[in-house]
Amino acid sequence: MDLNFTAEELAFRDEMRKFFRTEIPESIRTKVLEGQHLTKDEIILQQRILNKHGLAVPGWPVEWGGKDWTPVQRYFYADEIQLAGVPGGLAFNTSMVGPVIAQFGSEAQKKKFLPATANLDIWWCQGFSEPGAGSDLAGLRTKAELIDGQWVINGQKTWTTLGQHADWIFVLCRTDPNVKKQEGISYILCDMKTPGITVRPIQTIDGGHEVNEVFFDDVKVPAENIVGEVNKGWDYAKFLLGNERTGIAQVGASKARLKRIRELAAIEPMGEARVLDNPKFREKLSMVEIELKALEMTQLRIIADEKGKAKGRPNPASSILKMKGSEIQQWITDLTMDVAGPYIMPFAMSDEGSGRNEVGYGPEFAAAAAPAYFNKRKVSIYGGSNEIQRNIIAKAILGF
């Protein structure tokens, strides 16, 4: 056991650090670090830069642009990209649909989709959740019937993040209603321009428009757009859920946020001193840092433990990353509100929901403080709520 990084590992870290901070425009990184929303064009721009340098999809198979990195390298990639404020590859493309197509798709699907997915020439969105399903994902009711050589899809999806920008959607559909619910689901790829698809924005309590409802009304999709086998879609979706363990905890992003909070607290006045001079604030900040440091070590232990294990089998310990990582992200929004104090009150979002302070009351960052607090409630709800994560640990680790 040697818990120090090797010189090679540190050199890799430095290389990543330098790349992200010199190649990705500072304007984009600053917006991310300040908690503001990016435009569609900014997200595309940075992904194409990453892809040009072979750094958009390191988790993919090498033949499709992936990297054969060690767990520590994958850790440093994720950590540094987040620390630098680089949004990184759009998760739907790089962590979700890409790996599934690479693993289970036909050769034709791979050729058609993977390069375009890596370069964000195709913007994907996810069609999994349905109204009323919640954590019971497998209970989905959107159905696809094979009629005249075409899948005909009817139903409704919801919580489709950034669906308003998407070119394609990957949809879980019920293709056999007469078997156990997990066994009658297929994984289908669908062009968002297909007639019968309607996207309706969901306005969230932070004032933003991040998620959507997607309605399918007799949407006709070519038969070959199914990934892998009919009725095996649930397996592919589960493969995907356990695929990306290094990003889930958002350790790097949380470190970047804490660094920024520390800077802001050193500036923001409180009485005759600064917020950072208040011992109680500092202790609250330190407590979050301590939990984050522990989580970072937990993450390193979990990725080290992956060595030699089959891919696609999620380590149930990664539920810790999800639970604790989301708690920490939420605590961080509390800290930002503490720094902002009474200046959180104005609802100061611009039309694009950029989180800029348009009222001019209080410091610039304060405008995004309360919306971030409201918005981050989602991280303990989506992607398997923290209650579901506890169920997983109870069953898979504690053996209840």
Dihedral class, residue 134 (left if φ above 0, else alpha if ψ from -120 to 50, else beta): left
Is residue 80 annotated as a catalytic residue, yes or no?
A: no
| C-alpha closest to that of 260 among 83, 398, 102 | 83
Tell me how far, at minimum, the Cβ of 261 lies from a copy of itself, in Å. 21
> Contact between 400 and a copy of itself (CB under 8 A)?
no
Listed ranges 41-49, 83-91, 167-175, 278-286: which one lies at the site for a copy of itself (CB under 8 A): 278-286
325 contacts 288 by C-beta, under 8 angstroms: no
Tell me how far, at minimum, the Cβ of 280 lies from a copy of itself, in Å. 7
Q: How many residues bind a copy of itself (CB under 8 A)?
A: 3
b/e per residue 128-139 (b: at least 16 CB within 10 A)? bbbeebeeebbe
Listed ranges 119-127, 227-235, 265-273, 277-285: which one lies at the site for a copy of itself (CB under 8 A): 277-285
Q: Binds 385, which of other proteins, a copy of itself, none (CB < 5 to 8 A, cut-off by type)? A: other proteins
> Contact between 279 and a copy of itself (CB under 8 A)?
yes
Q: Binds 341, which of a copy of itself, other proteins, none (CB < 5 to 8 A, cut-off by type)? A: other proteins
Strands 211-222 and 273-274: what pairing? unpaired
Active-site choice (244, 268, 306, 387): 244
Tell me how far, at minimum, the Cβ of 127 lies from other proteins, in Å. 15
> Contact between 195 and a copy of itself (CB under 8 A)?
no
> Contact between 387 and a copy of itself (CB under 8 A)?
no
| C-alpha closest to that of 145 among 231, 214, 213, 237 | 231
**Burial grade of 280 (CB within 10 A; 0-12, 13-18, 19 or more):** exposed
Residues 123, 383: Cα–Cα separation, whole Å: 20
Tell me how far, at minimum, the Cβ of 148 lies from a copy of itself, in Å. 50
Tell me how far, at minimum, the Cβ of 270 lies from other proteins, in Å. 6
Residues 306, 142: Cα–Cα separation, whole Å: 35
| For other proteins, the closer CB: 219 or 321 | 321
Which tokens is 42 given? Answer: 């900014």
- Token pair 């992936």 is found at 66
The residues that are catalytic are 244
Interacting residues with a copy of itself (CB under 8 A) = 279-280, 283
